[in-house]
Amino acid sequence: MPTYCGLLMPASTTPAASPARAYRAAWWLPDPHSATIWGRLGRREPQAPTHTERWDTPDGDFVDLVRLPGARGDTSPRLLLLHGLEGGVHSHYVRALFREARSRGWAADLLLFRSCGSEPNRLPRSYHSGETGDPRWVLSQLIAAYPSAPIGLVGVSLGGNVLCKWLGEDGDALPRQVTGATAISVPFDLARASKRIGQGFGALYEHVFLRSLKPKALAKIRRHPELASLGIAGVRTLWDFDDAFTAPVHGFADAADYYARSSSLPYLSRIARPTLLLSAVDDPFLPADVLDDVRQAVAAAPWVEAEFPARGGHVGFTAGARPWAPWYYAEWRAAEFLRPGFESAAF
């Protein structure tokens, strides 16, 4: 049985495996789309007292970190947050995770993926669902600065896929300061997710993402003449966008190659830290049968707990009997899952 810090056990036996507060999806959000859209349009989260720092990366570029200090200074438990596609500090789940961290006295750092900060990044490359280099480097810098602080990793949507792939890539080699991880609404199989999101009402989500992605890509093409051959003006779907831009910019043959090499599903069985996978079966961004494949992949993985309630939408998980008094499960559950690891860590 693998151990680290001399104290922690596999996720299946940790106290966090059985949440003390049960989740029941809000009756007043009766379908997956209302559950998903409520988070973006109906949810109100306070802005935490954060500040933003720019860190120069080893390859001559930079990333921005949005930072919340902890109550115990350098020894405070820390969250490293990875946001979703075109997400950032404005995202409702990011604000909620900052709120959870602050209420518990934890520090938190949101990594803004390249091109998701206040300015375009310097290099032609951007970010994508399988890019784990920047999070790994940021973690190394946090550990160097706070060697006595336990760190929990939280990834949401695209950031959740990045996180799961990273955890599987590193396995037992992950630094011992990482005491656990939570991945919410992960598109574990990128090809199937890309096809699913554009179906029916889901075309609205695709339109919203492309409305942000395409101008950024066009601006990057203008700044970098070596990208001039990339044509994205006629792109209508996320698959088309990844085929025309994401794949060639980041060294993939095409969208199918990008999805195959970046999906986190093949990496799940290699995870070696307590990890919670929280997804709703009715997530409109992902076919439900993908979660069946995930269950099978982690069935013999002692560190991974899969929690897949029937309802919740994509990054929704709203509960509460009254619309004017909602309770949001996912961010609380993420923090509760990580709490035992923080409390038992010893370095």
CA nearest neighbour of 186 among 58, 314, 333, 299: 314
Chain-centroid distance, C-alpha 226: 31
- Dist CA 9 CA 295 (whole Å): 20
| Sign of the torsion formed by the C-alpha atoms of 88, 342, 48 and 62 | negative
The identity of residue 285, as a single letter, is F
- Dist CA 16 CA 36 (whole Å): 25
- Dist CA 48 CA 216 (whole Å): 27
CB burial readout 290-326, b (16+ within 10 A) else e: bbeebeebbeebbbbbbbbbebbbbbbbbbbeeeeeb
Question: Is the CB of residue 107 less than 8 Å from the CB of residue 70?
Answer: yes
In the residue annotation, 157 being an active-site residue is answered as yes
Count of alpha carbons within 13 angstroms of residue 133, beta-carbon side:
13
Question: Is the CB of residue 323 less than 8 Å from the CB of residue 28?
Answer: yes
Q: How far separated are the first and last CA of the chain, in Å rounded?
A: 20
CA nearest neighbour of 161 among 249, 216, 104, 83: 83
- Dist CA 117 CA 63 (whole Å): 8
The three-state secondary structure class of 328 is: strand
In the residue annotation, 243 being an active-site residue is answered as no
Annotated catalytic residue within 91, 126, 129, 157: 157
Chain-centroid distance, C-alpha 221: 27
In the residue annotation, 59 being an active-site residue is answered as no
The identity of residue 67, as a single letter, is R
Annotated catalytic residue within 109, 134, 242, 283: 283
Neighbouring C-beta atoms of residue 133, cutoff 10 Å: 12
Catalytic positions, written as ranges:
157, 283, 314
